[in-house]
Amino acid sequence: MSEIHPVDPAFAEKARVRKDDYQRMYAESVQDPDGFWKSMSERLDWVTPPTKIKNVSYDPADLHIRWYEDGVLNVAANCLDRHLAKRGDKTAIIFEGDDPNESRTLTYRQLHAEVCQFANTLKNLGVAKGDRVVIYLPMIPEAAVAMLACARIGAIHSVVFGGFSPDSLASRIADSKAKLIVTADEGCRGGKKIPLKANVDESLTRPNTNSVETVVVVRRTGGAVHFQSPRDRWYHTLMEGQSTECPAEPMNAEDPLFTLYTSGSTGQPKGVLHTSGGYLVYTSLTHELTFDLREDDIYWCTADVGWITGHSYVVYGPLANGATVVMFDGVPNYPDFSRFWQVVDKHKVTLFYTAPTAIRALMREGDEPVKKTSRKSLRILGTVGEPINPEAWNWYYRVVGEERCPIMDTWWQTETGGFLITPLPGATDLKPGSATLPFFGIKPAIVDAEGKVQEGACTGNLVIADSWPGQMRTVYGDHQRFIDTYFKAYPGNYFTGDGARRDEHGYYWITGRVDDVINVSGHRIGTAEVESALVAHPKVAEAAVVGCHHDIKGQGIYAFVTLNAGEEGSDELKKELIAGVRKEIGPIAAPDYLQWAPGLPKTRSGKIMRRILRKIAENAPDQLGDVSTLADPGVVKNLVEERLIK
């Protein structure tokens, strides 16, 4: 039996959703999705309110997902304009820089004005509804401004994380055929500079990137950058004299809002496409209820806008709710390990949302850096990105929240748009390490390898049996890949790619990815991408990459590399290969371990048996299972003997 933390009755009394509300609303939401989601859609301002609510088929032959399909709205108007009357002078964004002496705030009125100015700028530069705009910025308010300006005019943004390399950036530009890029001279994290503009310059020398007409550059550090006329333009010059009014484009609920590239089991990252109406209903509702949002809350989610968490829970959900949002451009350990808590105290943060990898890294430094701060303002804590181990959960609960703040372990994915399995603070008793129960409208199921639905307490693969408004609609430019990836494995269901256990109370415990995706510090890395970066080296014949245990990152990257005949493995070559992956994808994809493999375990048909490699990387050579079907069982002995984690 695992430990249970019951809801604090004093908290429940004032909460938006209590235990009986949860049960009643959940039942309504799954019995009558149309009725439930129609009433939830009323939280937004519509130009034309929807009358058609749900139109979904998971049948691979006729796959379509549509919500609110006759509704018309504008996402930016919902995040800004509708707040002006009551919340015009309320702080929308508190910006906290990497340097602790740098912070500034924008009210809803100021943010609205700046978004309108940038929307007008984009229009002047020829960007129109449906055009794609790549955003490659640090965590500065201009990132939110650029996203909302796109939403205002109906351009589709594609934010690329600032830690990605020029090659990764180039492949996203090429896939989206972006017309314009918004970037900064340099980023600045942990006191180090990141050459964003130089990376953009380099990416634009790659093939298939000539769709880009303009590069808009925000001056962040003032560092020297190369300017190519007339392509490159300064943000501040373009914004001068622009009107602070710009009409919001009426958008159909199913018009695309953004694409965001994410790694899967195979091939290149895919452009996950989210649309307007359902996405905003879902992100704003989940944000409001999971964080029990109050008018005077100060909400801080530490995720970068380059990831889905930054889209749904730094920008769209909270701003649609009129919340005050902290945007942090720094790291947890700079200038020192108290930084998160110093920022909490400085801005009186009440709702704090971060990732298990950050919690584990801070936990390793002991309690002292936490205890020397107050944190009295904190009300609710959240976590996302990977399973949180109970030790880290307990430390977060006991030391950071002083047993006063419930912990919202939110399970969701880039594809899901918002939380699918999550506690609600006034309704759900907590169990450390469990994401607990489904959100409204979500029907999780656990299936075995054959697709048979499991009942009661069980373990297996996690699928979702019905649609919800925040679900992704397609893979940009490749609908077939969308169908094949998510709807073929278990017909009639959305396949999450995660494994899970359900306990005797119906609580879900996510056990991690069951496909070839590695979750490194909460960031998804496809093994196929790392392998293709490794084999790009002329001395490499073959590579196989699997996940391994890592104390801080949750999972690390373990690569097995076979060199061409006549080549010799050396430490120098190892470094070169790892540097190659950093360059090709970005530092987050750099292998933690690289083992030379004279041969890889393959079936007789030539398929690499990753199951065996995973066990070797997990230091579990006694659990290799049956190796007799291998083409050459002998290769395993060498790999086991030479394994790097013992």
Residue closer to ligand WTA (CB basis): 74 or 414: 414
Nearer to ligand WTA, 256 or 264 (CB): 264
Query: Residue 284 annotated as binding?
Result: no
Q: Print the SS3 string covering 436-448.
A: ECECCCCCEEEEC
In whole angstroms, the minimum distance from the beta carbon of 591 to ligand WTA comes to 20
| CA distances to 529, 575, 608, 621, 625 from 611, in Å | 18, 26, 9, 11, 9
Taking the complex as a whole, the smallest distance from the CB of residue 258 to ligand WTA amounts, in Å, to 14
475 known member of a binding site: no
Nearest residue to ligand WTA by CB is: 414
155/446 with CB nearer ligand WTA? 446
The least CB distance from residue 212 to ligand WTA, in Å, is 26
Of the pair 308, 314, the CB lying nearest ligand WTA is at 308
Select 387 or 438, whichever has its Cβ closest to ligand WTA: 387
The answer on whether 333 is annotated among ligand-binding residues is: yes
Q: Which two structure tokens, joined as six digits, stand for 282?
A: 């879902």
Say if residue 311 carries a ligand binding annotation.
no
- Please tell me whether 345 is known to bind a ligand: no
Burial class (CB in 10 A: 0-12, 13-18, 19+), 248: buried
Q: 171: which 2 tokens?
A: 């492949």
Contact assessment for residue 212 and residue 245, using Cβ atoms and an 8 Å cutoff: no
| 335 marked among binding-site residues | no
**Shortest distance (Å) from residue 11 CB to ligand WTA:** 21
Can you read off the two tokens belonging to residue 93?
């964004």
**CB nearer ligand WTA, residue 121 or residue 410:** 410
Least spacing, CB of residue 387 vs ligand WTA, in Å:
4
CB 323 within 8 A of CB 314: no
* Nearest residue to 284 via CA among 255, 313, 309, 311: 313
Residue with tokens 């950071």: 400
Q: How far is the CB of 437 from ligand WTA (least distance, A)?
A: 13
User: φ, ψ for residue 365 (rounded to 5)?
Assistant: -85, 0
| Closest CB to ligand WTA among residues 91, 158 | 158
82 is in an annotated binding site: no
Distance (Å, whole) CA 561 – CA 542 = 6
Q: Answer whether 147's CB lies under 8 Å from 155's CB.
A: no
CB of 524 to ligand WTA, least distance (A): 5
- C-beta of 315 vs 597, nearer to ligand WTA: 315
Is 131 annotated for ligand binding? no
Angle between helices 527-535 and 571-584 (to 10 degrees): 120
**Pairing label, strands 380-383, 351-354:** parallel
215 in a known ligand binding site: no
CA angle 319, 321, 326 (to 5 degrees): 45
Q: Please tell me whether 540 is known to bind a ligand.
A: yes
CA distance 329 to 141: 10
Q: Between 154 and 586, whose beta carbon lies closer to ligand WTA?
A: 586
In the complex, minimum distance from the CB of residue 264 to ligand WTA, in angstroms, rounded to a whole number: 10
Chain contacts with ligand WTA (rule: CB under 6 A):
262, 307-309, 384-387, 409-414, 435, 496-498, 510, 512-513, 519, 524
The reply to whether 386 sits in an annotated binding site is yes
Smaller CB separation from ligand WTA, 354 or 414? 414
* Upper half-sphere CA count for residue 456 (Cβ side, 13 Å): 0
Q: Is the CB of 250 or the CB of 512 nearer to ligand WTA?
A: 512
Q: Say if residues 558 and 617 touch (Cβ distance below 8 Å).
A: yes
DSSP states along 575-611: HHHHHHHHHHT-GGG--SEEEE-SS--BBTTS-B-HH
Q: Which structure tokens are listed for 328?
A: 């942090």
Cα gap 252→73, rounded to integer Å: 6
Structure tokens at 195: 């050459």
Is 307 annotated as a binding-site member?
Answer: no
Tokens coding 143: 């990132």
Closest approach of Cβ 419 to ligand WTA, in Å? 9
- 611 in a known ligand binding site: no
Cβ distance to ligand WTA smaller for residue 235 or 509: 509
| 283 CB neighbour count, 10 Å cutoff | 28
Q: Is 326 exposed, middle or buried (0-12, 13-18, 19+ CB in 10 A)?
A: buried
Residue the block writes with tokens 């959940």: 26
394 is in an annotated binding site: no
Q: Which residues of 441-468 are buried (b: 16+ CB within 10 A; e: fewer)?
A: bbbbbbbeeeeeeeeeeeebbbbbbbbb
Q: Whole-number minimum distance, CB 553 to ligand WTA, in Å?
A: 13
Query: From the CB of 499, what's the least distance to ligand WTA, in Å?
Result: 9
Quote the CA–CA distance of 566 and 576 in Å, as a whole number: 18
Q: How far, in Å, CA of 372 to CA of 357, rounded?
A: 22
The answer to the question of whether 209 is labelled as a binding residue is no
Binding site for CoA: what residues are annotated? 189-192, 309, 333, 521, 582
Binding site: what residues are annotated? 189-192, 309, 333, 385-387, 409-414, 498, 513, 521, 524, 535, 537, 540, 582
Binding site for ATP: what residues are annotated? 385-387, 409-414, 498, 513, 524
Binding site for Mg(2+): what residues are annotated? 535, 537, 540
